[in-house]
Chains A and B, each alone.
Chain A
Amino acid sequence: MQEIRCPWCGPRVQTEFEYYCDDSLLTEVWGSEAVQQNLDRVFLRSNHLGYHQEIWQHTHGCRGWLRVLRHNLTHEIKESQPLGSNPVVDKDGRMQS
């Protein structure tokens, strides 16, 4: 079982949490290009093998929202931060400068 560190409550078992979506889903786009970009954002996933920035909720705890950096093959969790933090990798898993 995965252990996830809630920024507010500390390390807890995975069953207290619920995976919500890939971080890329949250990046709203505005402007004239927005229709296609938003369609892609809602429906397409890079789904690459590697690190993903994911949104989880501490559902059975403080109900806080987390931005988790997790590897989808090894399940290693590198970071878990409050949702307001900046993503560490982009949707394709590339490090953000």
Chain B
Amino acid sequence: MRNYSSYALIKNALTGNTRWTPAWRNARPRKNYEVIIIGGGGHGLATAYYLAKNHGITDVAVLDKGWIGGGNTGRNTTIIRSDYLLEENAGLYDFSLGLWAGLSRELNFNLMFSERGAVTLAHSEAHLNQLARLANAMLLRGVNAELLTREEVLKEIPVLDGGAGTRWPVEGAFRQPEAGTARHDAVVWGYARAADSLGVDIVEQCEVVGMNMEKGRIKGVQTSQGVIAADKVAIVVAGHTSTVAALAGLTLPVESHLLQAMVSEPIKPVLDTVVMSMAYDGYVSQTNKGEIVMGAELDGYPSYSQRGNLPRIEDCVRYTLTMFPSFSGLRLMRSWAGINDMTMDGSPLIGPTPVDGLYINGGWCYGGFKTIPGSGWAFADTLAHDRAHRLVEPYRLDRFNTGHTINENGHGPLPQHH
């Protein structure tokens, strides 16, 4: 791998930027591999990278039916935080947040990780109590968390409207100072390039359409580029988790739902933190390019269309303008949707399956960008040792049977409400 550096920038500038080489090889699939990872999103690529780096397993292929990063990883609002309440979630999310800080250096790729903090607004006393409970839980496990008064919030986020005299004024807020955002494409490209340089094959335009199994053991996959044998296969396909798992005869606690996001035209910097709200289901931040990014609620019904509906865009814009009335003059540039793998308790599904050698890492709902480093790390360890790593053990597939669901917000098995 050629190192990216200021020196390389200058040298290539002098040769008219004609000598850059592709960041990863365009691999043709071989006949067999030790490990096949289905899905070239953040989780699949991170898993491949840590398999090679931490475990010396380099006989690995990552297969994607489209282009890498074309799924949810390339469609998300990039909020990275670990303000989860439940102990089962705390381990992985905290560990993951810790990895982000050093990741650009490790991958030699600027992920533009920006530790700008994330603020959740409270609009009632009940909200304040709930956020205080969350902050206390985090402080108890040694993670930084702050509560802000109404005055402090309004001072720190001048562009925010306090809603004085309205039904849901801003009463205070919770903040995780170490939270932030990163450049989603860079995460995909950075992991792909680093994994490739360690010997991993990244195969795009290669759709898995069948599984080869023998006596309850995985033998390989059938793809649009032919049959590929493997000792171990991992399904890491987010919104398509159910359909790919069905190829191996598995039925999962997953329903696929749409989630939309959108960006405004770019403006000068006005918002230097991530803002979420307990009352309005919109989450807002400003990209380094200056666009205001807004994320919506789920569209509310199952769908594989990757195409959202206008009512949710209107809701999202309405929530955003309630918090930031001064954005009302901005034009919306783009909106898009991703297919979210919503589980019945809102937490991911990670680990071995009833088919020997077949593993799943999915069910990330709308919250899996932040965990890409931690999940890749722990899932690689799981694959290497044929047992769940401590950090992902709570997410085992049979937890619904044993009553060990991990339900952060206490909704029942109706995933459109998570």
Residues of A bordering B, CB below 8 Å: 1-2, 14-15, 18-22, 25, 36, 39-40, 42-49, 52, 54, 70, 72-75
Contacts and interface: CB of A to CB of B under 8 A. Distances in A.
B256 A72 contact: yes
Nearest to B416: A19
A interface SS class: mixed
Contacts of A47: 242-243, 252, 254-256, 302
A73 B304 contact: yes
B253 A43 contact: yes
Interface of B: 242-243, 246, 251-256, 300-305, 309-311, 344, 400-401, 413-414, 416
B304 A49 contact: yes
A39 B256 contact: no
A43 B413 contact: yes
B303 A75 contact: yes
Nearest to B253: A43
A48 B245 CA distance: 10
Most buried by B among A42, A45, A48, A70: A45
A51 to B, nearest CB: 11
Contacts, number: 68
B413 A72 contact: no
A72 B305 CA distance: 7
Given A1-B311, A45-B251, A47-B255, A72 B304 contact: yes
14 contacts: A14-B311, A18-B300, A19-B300, A21-B414, A25-B413, A42-B344, A44-B252, A45-B251, A45-B253, A47-B243, A47-B256, A47-B302, A52-B302, A75-B305
A18 B315 CA distance: 15
Given A19-B301, A72-B302, A2 B256 contact: no
A78 B303 CA distance: 15
Given A39-B401, A47-B252, A75-B305, 15 more contacts: A2-B309, A15-B311, A40-B251, A44-B251, A44-B400, A45-B242, A45-B252, A47-B242, A47-B243, A47-B256, A54-B302, A72-B256, A73-B303, A73-B304, A74-B305
A72 B342 CA distance: 15
A2 B400 CA distance: 33
Nearest to B301: A19
A45 B126 CA distance: 34
B400 A39 contact: yes
Contacts of A25: 413
Given A15-B311, A19-B416, A46 B242 contact: yes
A29 to B, nearest CB: 15
Contacts of A49: 243, 304
Most buried by A among B246, B304, B309, B401: B304
